[in-house]
Chain A
């Protein structure tokens, strides 16, 4: 190895995985969504208690929520800057990958806001807060069911096909497969276990949404770990 190659190698040491920054951004984003949900729940509670002017304690609580959102937004901005400071342009696949993720995140955000502000997201209907109401098994009006079905049954398969054939590379495909294995094993072991324990009278009835969310979260967590570790 020549001296100039060694010098270049030393310069290249800074290039590393973006995983940590992306994880912080995702966690901060989730934190913002949850804080917004807490604000919605707090205001809903205020309205159900008669509404009117907010007390100084309630204002302090809202300011606290605002500070949390500001802090989390700062964390996203800072970590986004770290991504840029790697100083490298993205490859075509990465740009497409990023654009699809941004598009879906935007769509998910819009759907989340619509759901949490609609009648099914109110505390009176299905549970103690907007999030639990959204993921409960309560009835949903047709005006929400139809757009959801169109997005999930028509748009998502097209995006998934495009994603897997054009946007991801073999390393990410491998991460997906590993995530699928882990999630499938957890599903195959714990879903029947829950069902049998329920029939034995030890636990509540199996909840399809909880199983689906657990499967999805394990898959996503392993995918993230394998892709960005």
Chain B
């Protein structure tokens, strides 16, 4: 799943380790989420959302376009 984590992190000038410390996960986990190799659990996604003060859908993009291309 695409996400804005790296942009948000850059805006705060945080390293992956610093963000990991805020979220209580490893730097590797932050890296995996940023690169779209791992989708965070719902509790972790909400934690990220609260940390950056942004709604979930502003941070994560599941590619759903509202059904405009025929998808229900």
Q: How many residues of B contact A (CB 8 A)?
A: 26
Given contacts A8-B10, A12-B6, contact A88 B27 (CB under 8 A): yes
Hey, which chain A residues are within 8 Å of B28, CB to CB? 17-18, 94, 171-172, 227-228
A89 interfacial contact with B, CB 8 Å: yes
A5 to B4 CA separation, bound complex (whole angstroms): 12
Interface of B is mostly: helix
Closest beta carbon of chain B to A173's beta carbon, Å: 9
Interface of A is mostly: helix
Please determine whether A169 and B29 come into contact, CB atoms closer than 8 angstroms.
yes
B59 interfacial contact with A, CB 8 Å: no
Closest beta carbon of chain B to A178's beta carbon, Å: 11
Please determine whether A17 and B7 come into contact, CB atoms closer than 8 angstroms.
no
Please determine whether A9 and B21 come into contact, CB atoms closer than 8 angstroms.
no
Hey, which chain A residues are within 8 Å of B9, CB to CB? 12
Please determine whether B6 and A9 come into contact, CB atoms closer than 8 angstroms.
yes
12 A-B pairs whose Cβ atoms sit less than 8 Å apart in the complex: A1-B7, A5-B10, A5-B11, A8-B13, A9-B10, A15-B31, A88-B18, A91-B27, A94-B20, A169-B26, A227-B32, A229-B37
